[in-house]
Structures are given as C-alpha cells and as structure tokens.
Chain A
Amino acid sequence: AQSVTQLGSHVSVSEGALVLLRCNYSSSVPPYLFWYVQYPNQGLQLLLKYTTGATLVKGINGFEAEFKKSETSFHLTKPSAHMSDAAEYFCAVSGYGNKLVFGAGTILRVKS
C-alpha cells in the first residue's frame, strides 16, 4: 500500500522568499514520485517527477525536489517565490497500474 502526507495544508511566504512544501510518502515498492500544481478551476499540471536515477529533480517554473529514500521524503522547493506561484500543490506517489495516490494538497499563498 502507498500513502502520501503533505505537511501543512496552507503555506504562506513573501514574494522572493524560499518556498518549501513538504511531502512524505510510504511505499512497499520503489516509488515514482510526482508534484503537480493546480490553479483555481483548472486541471493538474505536472511540475516534476522522480522515477529513477538522479535524486535531485528539476522541474518547470524554477521548482525542484529531492528524493530522500532514508527520510521517505520528496520535498518541493523554489529559491524565490513569485506571485504567480500561488496555487495548490499536490504530491503523489505512483503505485500499481500507474495509479496515483495523492496527498491532501498544500495551498501556497505568496504575499507581496
């Protein structure tokens, strides 16, 4: 069985500050891990993914995430927040048959 825990349902940062969204997972098999972003009334857009290989993954819009097996974590970071980053972010782990198990989501607010 697989599960995802996103710590913090709401995160607020100032524009230009570091963004850190936390994700921990559990998986009985080597995980595929994903971060998706959702803007209001829209579908999900893939930010980045980890399948195999390099554990530091770079995605779109300046985001990156590091897979840490020992900590079962896949935290999402961005060095400098922009107003356009305000959205909801979902961490997900892929399981059997490509099924995704999603975290509850973290709403990111960016203050000017």
Chain B
Amino acid sequence: GAVVSQHPSRVICKSGTSVKIECRSLDFQATTMFWYRQFPKQSLMLMATSNEGSKATYEQGVEKDKFLINHASLTLSTLTVTSAHPEDSSFYICSAVGLAGYTDTQYFGPGTRLTVL
C-alpha cells in the first residue's frame, strides 16, 4: 500500500515553455501533498504544501506564479513550471499524506527529472 506515482519521470523542454508534472496517490486518498525540489548532492527542499480543494501554501522564496500547484482531487496534485528556464532544471519529488492509516507518514513519488535547454 501507499504508492505514489509521478508523471513524467523525465522531461526535457525548451526555455520559455511550461511543463506540468502530475503526482498521484494510487491506493489511498491524499488529503495533503507536498512538492520538493532536490539539487544534485543535496537534501530535499520543500517548495509547497497543497491540500485538496484549497490553495497551496508556498515556502518562503518560492515563486507561486512560477510554480503553479493544483490539488483538484484526493488522488491528484499537479505542479506546473511556467516559463521554464535552465535554472529550473532539477529533480522534483512529490509526497502524499492521507486519511485513516496513512496520516502520519509522507509517502514519496519516484521523482521527475526536469531539464530545461
């Protein structure tokens, strides 16, 4: 149980384009999803917290207009990187916390490698 998927696993795009990354909880309902960014050889940096049906809460220093987060259902959250630039290239990981039995642990997706040319 507690499986989280991400799609795509890898994406390469041109500078100036937008990229959408999906995060799904496959076998539980996720009341809260988190989005992280991980630079090479570094720990995870929390970008934002999203709760189903409400606006995401962004960490200090994260541009909300650049990193659009939508949590439209209890199993899906999306992160859209708008007008991507090479400095946005990174490994993006989502995690989910759910209801009954899945409330105290974050379960992580496999990550999405974004490369902006």
Contact = CB atoms under 8 A, between A and B. Distances in A.
Contacts of B104: 32, 49, 51, 94, 98
A54 B83 CA distance: 49
A80 interface: no
Q: Is the interface on chain B under 10, 10 to 19, 20 to 34, or 35 or more residues?
A: 20 to 34
A5 to B, nearest CB: 12
Interface string B89-109: 001010101000001111111
29 contacts: A34-B105, A34-B106, A41-B91, A41-B111, A41-B113, A43-B108, A43-B109, A44-B44, A44-B93, A44-B95, A44-B108, A45-B108, A46-B105, A46-B107, A49-B104, A90-B44, A94-B104, A97-B32, A98-B32, A98-B97, A98-B103, A98-B104, A99-B49, A100-B95, A100-B106, A102-B43, A102-B44, A103-B43, A104-B43
Nearest to A4: B43
A34 B95 CA distance: 14
Give the size range of A's interface with the partner: 20 to 34
Contacts, number: 51
Interface of B is mostly: strand
Closest 5 CB pairs of A and B: A44-B108, A43-B108, A43-B110, A43-B111, A102-B43
Contacts of B32: 97-98
Nearest to B57: A97
A41 B110 CA distance: 8
Given A32-B104, A43-B93, 20 more contacts: A34-B105, A34-B106, A41-B111, A41-B113, A42-B111, A43-B110, A43-B111, A44-B93, A44-B95, A45-B108, A46-B107, A49-B104, A49-B105, A51-B104, A90-B43, A90-B44, A98-B32, A98-B106, A99-B49, A102-B44
B116 interface: no
